[in-house]
Chain A
Amino acid sequence: MEGVYVTIGLEVHCQLLTQAKMFCRCSTDYIGKTPNTLVCPVCMGLPGALPVLNRKALELAIKTALALRCEILPEVVFHRKNYFYPDLPKGYQISQYDFPIGVRGVLEFALEGERRKVRIRRVHVEEDAGKLVHEGLGVERNVSGVDFNRAGIPLVEIVTEPDLHSPEEAKECLIMLRSIVRYLGVSDGNMEEGSLRCDANVSVSLSPDTQGAKVEIKNMNSFRSVFRALSYEVERQAALLREGKFPVQETRHWDEVRQVTVPSRGKEEAEDYRYFPDPDLLPFRIPQDMLEEIKATIPELPLQKKERFMREYELAEPEAHILVQDKDLAEFFEACVREFPAPRTVCNFVLTEVLKNLNAFNMTIRESKVTPGMLAELLRMVERKEIGISLAKGIFEEMFATGMSAREVMAKKGISFLTSERDLEKIVRQVIEENPQSVADYLGGKDKALHFLIGQVMKVTKGQANPEVVKNLLLRELTSGE
């Protein structure tokens, strides 16, 4: 929008991919589990229970901070964030305050092929709260139910500086962030299931020199709703400003049904969490060797991979961009190129046929039964003109559904891998030349001779040719030779 200056900052929570909770050893595998079964005295806040840090949670948080190019603070200090809410059993959340894991990082992403940057203010680790249930409790209506299965699952919180200037940028930045946590294996980054949650601060001004009021938006449960909520909010604030009014500094919720943001109900008291260092968890220094070990596990990240793909495989930016969003897909592509070194052909097939089939079955490439080797074999057959590209697409669909190789699919479907007429013609002519007697018999009216000739062709092709096709070719050759 002309003359509208937008400033957006994101606050993202990701559930860390640990097996056990952050300060106890309850399982984190909570989705679909019976309520309050993955609990213990620690995560239910029973008196006298003491937290013990899960080493893996710390490692994953450090890994995230390192990948976002943060300075890692040498000391790990946990604070209690005090507030009362029924999903918070202890009356405080164990979090981090003035000593987060990492500070001053950078996240790079691309918008329409152009490199953008957002500064990362901080990366810290904290525990998740329980879940409130309002319906289906089978009791009176004016109560809520609490399930602590999720309470105590480790989260990493990533806070950006307000460096984003449009809803498009914010969305791309968030997609890149999800891509990075997935690359790192620190979180599955699933917004719909709540393992990645995003809040945003938006302020709008009609002049580049003034700052608008900071409005916090919550309850955005998909990338699309992040984009829509921010777009709505920018419009809303700009409209107010144009009327000479000023937006209020407040927290608003995205209403997915009505597609609007609404002011949050509930107390608007200034937040006062009375943070203090948790006396149950002693501060400690991160050992240097632990830091080195974690550093060594950080893989090539999406943006670097994209640029390498463009350089090494001469892919165009939009294609490379899509390929690298999913690390497994990028690896599948590379593995396939190693066996069939025609990157652009592989890329095209992956971005069209592979993605189409994955979407149709709602599957990830990791779940697919087609290996890179199997796709390479199929593409090689196309290259050798054994099959046409449209046939290849159909064969791939079958490979995808059944896990069979291209040749197995063809054998099953009775498609000759020698359907390339030229290859088959050669064999047919050769058989005709080698069997003048049978040819003469056939031309003399002995139909049985034709079956003999078909058999000969099948023998040469080791049974891989389609007998129908062979018969037709033989007939054509025999009659044209007349």
Chain B
Amino acid sequence: MPGHVSLEEVRKIAQLAKLSFSEEELTRFFQDISDIIAHFEKLNELDLEDVSPTSHISWSQPPMNPDEPVDWQGSDLVLKHAPCAAGRYFIVPKVVEKEEKLS
């Protein structure tokens, strides 16, 4: 629904983003997000009947990479700065699902 967000939706978005908030914070975010959406609602006052939706204004061809591998030498440094690493692996809390998530 345009121009409207429910407290429940804010709660769900927080959950999807793996963020936890107090009720107080949730109410504040609910207010902020509602205000932001209300602000964007102003755009709906424009008559866009004949304008097709566009996600970007440029349709020119972007630069593309050639299919030629190039080595990068910084992986040791990244592993060194990782919160937790063992050998050549980044270490994370045990992933419960045994199967690999695919797409």
A residues whose Cβ falls under 8 Å from a Cβ of B? 13, 18-20, 23-29, 34-37, 39-41, 44, 46, 52-58, 75, 77, 81-88, 93, 95, 126, 129, 131-134, 137-139, 141-148, 155, 157, 197, 199, 218-219, 253, 264-266, 272, 274, 277, 281-285, 287
B65 contacts the other chain (CB 8 A) = yes
Residues of B within 8 A of A219 (CB): 99
**With A34-B88, A282-B62, A284-B62: A55-B96 Cβ-Cβ less than 8 Å:** no
Return A65 CB to nearest CB of chain B, in Å: 17
Is B65 a contact of A54 with CB atoms below 8 Å? yes
Q: Is chain B's binding surface mostly helix, strand, loop or mixed?
A: loop
Return B60 CB to nearest CB of chain A, in Å: 7
Query: What is the CA–CA distance of A155 and B103 in the complex, to the nearest angstrom?
Result: 10
Residues of A within 8 A of B18 (CB): 84
Q: Number of B interface residues, CB 8 Å?
A: 43
Is A18 a contact of B92 with CB atoms below 8 Å? no
Contact of B92 among A95, A144, A264 (CB under 8 A): A144
B residues whose Cβ falls under 8 Å from a Cβ of A? 12, 16, 18, 55-56, 58-72, 74-75, 78-79, 84, 86-103
Is A147 a contact of B65 with CB atoms below 8 Å? no
Residues of B within 8 A of A265 (CB): 96-97
Contact of A20 among B59, B65, B95 (CB under 8 A): B65
Query: What is the CA–CA distance of A199 and B97 in the complex, to the nearest angstrom?
Result: 17
Residues of B within 8 A of A84 (CB): 18
Chosen A-B contacts, 25 in total, with CB atoms closer than 8 Å, are A19-B68, A20-B68, A23-B65, A25-B70, A26-B70, A35-B89, A46-B78, A52-B62, A52-B63, A52-B64, A55-B66, A56-B66, A81-B103, A83-B101, A85-B95, A141-B94, A144-B92, A144-B95, A264-B99, A265-B96, A266-B96, A272-B16, A277-B55, A277-B56, A285-B59
Residues of A within 8 A of B59 (CB): 75, 283-285
